[in-house]
Amino acid sequence: MKLISKLPTVGTSVFTTMSALALEHKAINLGQGFPDFPMSETLIDQVCQAMREQHNQYAPMAGWLPLREAIADKIAYLYQTHVDPVTDITITPGGTYALYNTFTTILQPGDEVIVFEPAYDSYIPGIELNGAKAIRIPLVHPQYHIDWQRVKESCTAKTRAILINTPHNPSGAVLSEQDIASLRDLVEGTDIIIISDEVYEHLIFDGRTHCSMLRYPDLLARSFVCFSFGKVYNCTGWKLGYVVAPSSLMTAFRKIHQFNCFSCHTPMQVALASFLQHRDAYLTLGSSMQERRDAFIALMKPTRFDLLPSYGSYFILATYDRITQEGDKEFAMRLTREAGVTPIPVSAFYTDGTDHKVLRFCFAKKHETLAAAATRLQAV
């Protein structure tokens, strides 16, 4: 039986390949973005309690209302923005699902979406599966900032959406107020929708401000803003997130969502509704992860890798000009086999494989994991 693939150019992802190689060679895996330290025992206990209290049946399609109310309270506290928990928030099985369901909601064949590369690997397949075209614009290397003049020149009558990601995966760059001003000027008077991937919302460093679309009422009015509980509370395997959008957009989103997923894991939603009341649990995340970033930077100083600035997320990039001129994929595989440390080649985040000879390392790890990896890399 033959099938015609809807993604004929897509093969096994580099993340799967590198993780398998890491396992084969017993390497320290600093490639895939997940923590190797425990999540909150309190949150685990609250999930168990919710199950014992028989919160084990379907949640409402839009999500457990007390959780949506807690999210709305958090948004009001952080961004001084009111969103209606009944109409403007939907709980989803992860941030990637929130993005894909958004694509399915807004895109028609022939539409165009502005995407900045290097880009999270699900963006462009999700766009193409919905019959639309990704207009790829490279971020300016090595700062990985947006060339807004190029964005303006790339917008056409077919431009349906602009997809942004802050803090940015893989670079750790974050949007500034100047970026927001440029975005505002670009979309004013248009029907362009903003899709904002903010799964690393609380993982922002060095006293910088997270320029969420939730902070700007005029931008929020045309936005789908996507989040992940897994990235916030170190439980990526939960695959639970949410999307915020004005009711006019959310109504269309839920029409698709009800047939695609319908509802998400109830006990976790019940637990998170209580856990979100403890603001310190998310307010301290940035400083905690910054300590890990700073520790990794210090540990890597004796190596011949040169680390680029990271202002948010789980990740930091490194160049390796002082070591070799080989391609980043080849070097990443050689590091896994010979040094016992697995990074991700940044060329994997470009459709055309653009190779600036940069590797991505995940520092969301225990100190001893980072120290062991750095020790191995000192010998390279």
- Kindly indicate the confidence band of residue 187, based on its pLDDT and cuts at 50, 70 and 90: very high
Residue in 162, 113, 171 with CA at minimum distance from that of residue 141: 171
User: Is it true that the peptide bond before 142 is cis, omega within 30 degrees of 0?
Assistant: yes
pLDDT at residue 10 is higher than 90: no
The whole-number pLDDT of residue 119 equals: 98
pLDDT at residue 83 is higher than 90: yes
Bridge partner list, 116:
137
Is the pTM here over 0.75, yes or no? yes
Total residues found in the chain within this entry = 380
Bridge partner list, 359:
318, 345
pLDDT at residue 361 is higher than 90: yes
Contacts of 6 (CB under 8 A, 6+ apart): 128, 129
Please give the Cα distance from 330 to 242 (Å, whole number): 37
Q: Residue 322 to residues 131, 193, 305, 337: CA-CA distances in angstroms? A: 43, 43, 7, 20
pLDDT at residue 342 is higher than 90: yes
Mean pLDDT across the chain, nearest whole number?
96
Residue type, 94: G
Please give the Cα distance from 198 to 187 (Å, whole number): 19
Show the tokens assigned to 318: 């490194």
How far from chain centre, in Å, is Cα 238? 15
Walk me through the domains of the chain, giving residue ranges and CATH numbers.
14-39+283-378 (3.90.1150.10), 57-277 (3.40.640.10)
The residue with greater pLDDT, 359 or 14, is 359
Please give the Cα distance from 70 to 66 (Å, whole number): 6
pLDDT tens figures, 118-169? 999 999 999 999 999 999 999 999 999 999 999 999 999 999 999 999 999 9
Percent of the chain with pLDDT over 90: 94
